[in-house]
Amino acid sequence: MSYTTDLIKNVAIAGHGQTGKTTLFEHLLFTGGAIPRPETVESGKTTSDSTQEEIERKISIHTALAHIERNGKKVNFFDTPGSSDFTGDVILSFRASEFVLLAVDGRSGVQIETVKLWRNLETRRKPRGVFVTKLDDERADFEKVLEDIKEKFKVTPVPFTLPMGKGAGFKGVIDVLNEKAYPVPGDAVEKESPIPDEYRDAAAAAREKLIEAAAEGDDGLMEQYIEKGSLSTEEMRKGLVEALSEHKIVPAFAGVATKNSGLVPFLDFIAETGPSPRTAQDVVLDPEGKEHTVSLDPDRSLAAMVIKTTYDQFSGKLSWIKVIDGRLSADSEALNVSENKKERIGKLYICQGKKLEEVKELFAGDVGIIAKSATLRTNDTISSDDSALKFLPLRLPEPVHSVAVNAVAKKDDDKLGEFLVRAAEEDKTFQYFFNTETKETVISGMGELQINIILDKIKVNQKIEVETHIPRVAYRETITKKASAEYTHKKQTGGHGQYGKVVLDIAPLGRGEGYKFENKIFGGAVPKNYIPGVEKGVAEGMARGTMAGYPVVDVEVAIVDGKYHPVDSSELSFKLASRNAFREAMRQANPTLLEPIMNLTGFVEEKYLGDVMSALSGKRGRILGQDSVGGIAEIHAEVPQAELLRYSIDLRSITSGTGSFSVAFDHYAPISGRIAEDVIKAAEAFKVEEKEE
């Protein structure tokens, strides 16, 4: 069955690791009638954790998609990973959803990943709510968690459900909007009952706050509320729909997923009140590359985006599609706008975890799968015609952990490369490239766990033994003073010889300015037709510096004099003369090494702040500042890339696995002394290795 836009809801479940997201997802599917019984994570049989690596490690690694039908609505749920190593799958789920439910542990409250996810949602202005889990634990406290959220995020969560009791005395939840109680059902689905007398006052107070929140969503309702002092349930729902779509309120829910408690009122909220795809917006790029916000519209012609690519051993390549406009039909033809190629659409599917269900069409707002497309890739836009604009690619963080890899057996190199290309397509935060400068195959990702899982799959599935080592850093060389040099290239071999003489002046440029070349020849000492050869020679000279063979940057070069022979001169002669003249001038210009400096942003619990800052200082880092919000510290620092090659491992060790960070290249900075000597020695050793190979 296909659902039209007004009957679709999309919800991403996200949160810090171990907050119970997969358990919540599984029990929502059970409560919604999609599965006959909920399975535990420990059993390895949950709907979402279906891959071998997820079952073995008992964590979510990939986003899972499943759906239920509730009150005539189709609700798509995304179960997302909690580890920051797999943040790419979280971000694609945010992009495809109109509402995000953050699972927050009733014992721990807001944790580091909660903070990072919240900030990401803020940049998107994405409607969100919180589900406080594990409230049957003696250490859990619903009110305390809401205060924690208020303190850290400067918002006041509005309870849509309230817990009845706490710890061992947890008895169920109260649906504040519909004024019903739902006692703990055990292994069954919740059933409504009257609110017990002991909770009526708390329920009435919570309903008053809900009425105020609803009134804020609609000016007409606000006037009515001021006049009458109350609103009906239907009037409240109308105001809440508006308030949610404009992100004016953050609804809060209570429950214990393992006991199927708190799930029915949440599902009713999503079906009746949760944000609709019609309120959603996406971002497109015009032909000039400018960003524009567009609303989802089922009445326009087809426009959809590929949000994820997976490979299944039985179904082959699967392209996850979010339909933004119009409808997508099976056995049709569309244009891949990104590639400007016609795309044959074969079978369409929706899914319950890894189980595929064939459908004839998908309407705007829905998420489905195109099977076995040869050309579709993540971030591609497909359309019914060539007038559509491209959707903005997923905004993903830069990788923070890299290793150099090679197959133990040379014959496996090509096969290894093929698998790494596929892995990079399945997870866009994973990158694979051959560094021509350092002659290494380098893979990069969000952390050691992500990298290790991919390498384990290669070993187990592809039977390829892989060696890894720390990647070499791409240093640079530059000069610190002006210098001049001349060089004459002369060669006589019978017949036409080779002759070219150049005099070059070189001078340092400001950091980051790169390279400038100027022809200062007057009087025809070197004819203009040989100047391109001079430039090529300088470029070759800059490709390998005189200190350690690294590329040279931030240098201004001028040819000021020279000499040519009417018969023996050629562009090649001047290229060779210029390359040698540049290298000679560089030796006289007090050359120095440059190392890449990264801009680092770290998130750590305050109790680890001192140790983390001390460790960064020990890595030659420069602390730029730090900001603390409710026990979570955000650190900004500049750190040499060479000191960060194992930092993802170091930080996890210092913070007991809770800290995380992001990095981005900032600038190059000079190095000298023992550090420079070590870099030069390593470069010389590398040259010896290359010759031996």
pLDDT of 437 strictly over 90: no
| The two three-digit tokens of residue 548, written as one number | 């350690």
Which residues, in sequence order, are CB contacts of 314 under 8 Å at separation 6+?
none
| Residue spans of beta strands (DSSP E) within 296-438 | 303-312, 316-325, 327-329, 332-336, 341-345, 348-352, 355-359, 361-363, 367-371, 381-383, 390-391, 401-407, 431-435
In the prediction, which pLDDT does 53 show?
87
Residue numbers of the domain that contains 514 = 477-590
- Are 349 and 358 contacting, i.e. CB atoms less than 8 angstroms apart? yes
* Strand-strand pairing, 498-508 and 483-491: antiparallel
Q: What is the CATH number of the domain that holds 421?
A: 3.30.70.870
DSSP code, position 459: H
pLDDT value for 51: 83
- Averaged pLDDT, 229-248: 90
- Mean pLDDT value across residues 629-650: 92
User: Domain boundary residue among 453, 472, 491?
Assistant: 472
**Higher pLDDT among residues 497 and 641, named by residue:** 641
Q: How many CB atoms sit inside 10 A of residue 618's CB?
A: 9
CATH number at residue 324: 2.40.30.10
Residue of 19, 155, 37 whose CA lies nearest to 80: 19
User: Using 50, 70 and 90 to split pLDDT, how confident is the model at 681?
Assistant: very high
pLDDT tens, residue by residue, 273-291? 999 999 888 999 988 889 9
* Helices assigned H by DSSP within 194-262: 200-216, 219-228, 233-245
- Residue tagged 């169920």 (tokens): 172
Pairing between β-strand 515-519 and β-strand 555-563 as defined by DSSP bridges: parallel
Q: What is the mean pLDDT of residues 548-562?
A: 96
pLDDT given at position 40: 93
Give domain status of residue 689, yes or no: no
Q: What is the pLDDT of residue 469?
A: 94
Return the pLDDT at 690: 67
Q: How confident is the model at residue 693 (pLDDT cuts 50, 70, 90)?
A: low
Q: What is the DSSP letter of 109?
A: -
Nearest Cα to 135, choosing from 100, 101, 104, 178? 104
Report pLDDT for 692. 60
Pairing type for strands 401-407 and 367-371 reads unpaired
Instruction: Work out the average pLDDT over 568-576.
Output: 94
**Cβ neighbourhood burial of 100 (10 Å; 0-12, 13-18, 19+):** buried
CATH of the domain at 119: 3.40.50.300
Does one domain contain both 270 and 288?
A: no
Give the other-Cβ count within 10 Å of 316's Cβ: 11
Q: Are 152 and 31 in the same domain?
A: yes
Q: What is the pLDDT of residue 315?
A: 82
How far, rounded to the nearest angstrom, does the alpha carbon of residue 113 sit from its chain's CA centroid? 13
In this prediction, residues 471-484 reach a mean pLDDT of 96
Domain boundary among 550, 568, 590: 590
Whether residue 346 lies inside any domain: the answer is: yes
Residue where a domain terminates, one of 366, 391, 416: 391
Regarding whether 376 and 423 lie in a shared domain, the answer is no
Whether 514 and 462 map to the same domain: the answer is no
Average pLDDT of every residue of the chain: 93
Q: What is the pLDDT of residues 43-91, one digit of tens each?
A: 999 999 778 888 888 889 999 999 999 999 999 999 999 998 999 999 9
| Sequence letter at residue 269 | F
Cα(70)–Cα(66) distance, integer angstroms: 13
Residue 465 in this model has a pLDDT that exceeds 70: yes
Task: Say if residue 595's pLDDT is above 90.
Answer: yes
Q: What is the 3-state secondary structure (H, E, C) of 22-63?
A: HHHHHHHHHHCCCCCCCCCHHHCCCCCCCCHHHHHHCCCCCC
Tell me whether residue 680 is in a domain: no
Q: Are residues 36 and 84 in the same domain?
A: yes
520 falls in which pLDDT band (50, 70, 90)?
A: very high
Give percent above pLDDT 70 in the chain. 99
Helix axis angle, 233-245 relative to 200-216, nearest 10°?
50
469 SS3 class: strand
CATH number, residue 671: 3.30.70.240
Neighbouring residues of 63: CB distance < 8 A, sequence distance ≥ 6: 78, 79, 80, 81, 89, 90, 92, 93, 308
Closest CA to 39 of 81, 96, 79: 79
- Smallest CA-to-CA distance from 323 within 284, 367, 355, 359 is with 367
User: Is 233 inside a domain boundary?
Assistant: no
pLDDT at 688: 73
By the 10 Å C-beta count (0-12 exposed, 13-18 middle, 19+ buried), 198 is classed as exposed
Q: Are residues 200 and 263 in the same domain?
A: yes
147: which residues sit within 8 A by CB, 6+ positions away? none
Question: Is residue 175 domain-resident?
Answer: yes
Q: What share of the chain is helix, strand, coil (3-state, %, to 5)?
A: 35, 35, 35
Q: How far apart are the first and last CA of the chain?
A: 61
Residue 633: pLDDT over 60? yes
Residues 106 and 255 both lie in one domain: yes
How many helices and strands (H and E) does the chain possess? 16, 36
Identify the pLDDT of residue 494: 64
Residue 35 sits in the same domain as residue 156: yes
Q: What confidence category does residue 426 fall into, taking pLDDT thresholds of 50, 70 and 90?
A: very high
pLDDT bucket at 389, cuts 50 / 70 / 90:
confident
Cα 559 versus chain centre, distance? 47
The pLDDT tens digits of the residues spanning 83-125 come to: 989 999 999 999 999 999 999 999 999 998 998 899 899 999 9
Asked if 128 and 56 sit in the same domain, the reply is yes
**What is the 3 state secondary structure string of 135-152?**
CCCCCCCHHHHHHHHHHH
Residue 432 neighbours by CB distance under 10 Å? 20
Is the confidence at residue 320, as pLDDT, over 70? yes
Record the tokens describing residue 58, joined without a space: 């008992």
Bigger pLDDT: 272 vs 220: 272
Q: Is the pLDDT at 630 greater than 80, yes or no?
A: no
Cα 99 to Cα 637: distance, rounded to the nearest angstrom = 34
Residue 254 inside a domain? The answer is yes
pLDDT digits (tens, 9 = 90+) for 331-379: 999 999 999 999 999 999 999 998 999 999 999 999 999 999 988 999 9
Same domain, residue pair 275 and 285: no
**What per-residue confidence (pLDDT) applies to 313?**
80
In a domain, 225, yes or no: no
Provide the CATH number for the domain around residue 578: 3.30.230.10
Write out the DSSP string of 295-313.
E-BTTSPPEEEEEEEEEET
Residue 9 lies in a domain: yes
Could you count the other beta carbons within 10 Å of the beta carbon of residue 464? 18
Is the same domain home to 385 and 417? no
Single out the residue of 487, 519, 489 nearest to residue 502, CA to CA.
Answer: 487
The DSSP line for 508-563 is E--TT--EEEEE---TTSS-GGGHHHHHHHHHHHHHS-SSSSPPB-SEEEEEEEEE
Q: Is the pLDDT of residue 524 over 80?
A: yes
User: For 609-637, what is the mean pLDDT?
Assistant: 93
CA 239/CA 55 separation, integer angstroms: 43
What is the domain count for the chain? 5
The pLDDT of residue 495: 66
Same domain? 643 vs 615? yes
Q: Which of 345-359, 622-636, 642-656 has the lowest mean pLDDT?
A: 622-636
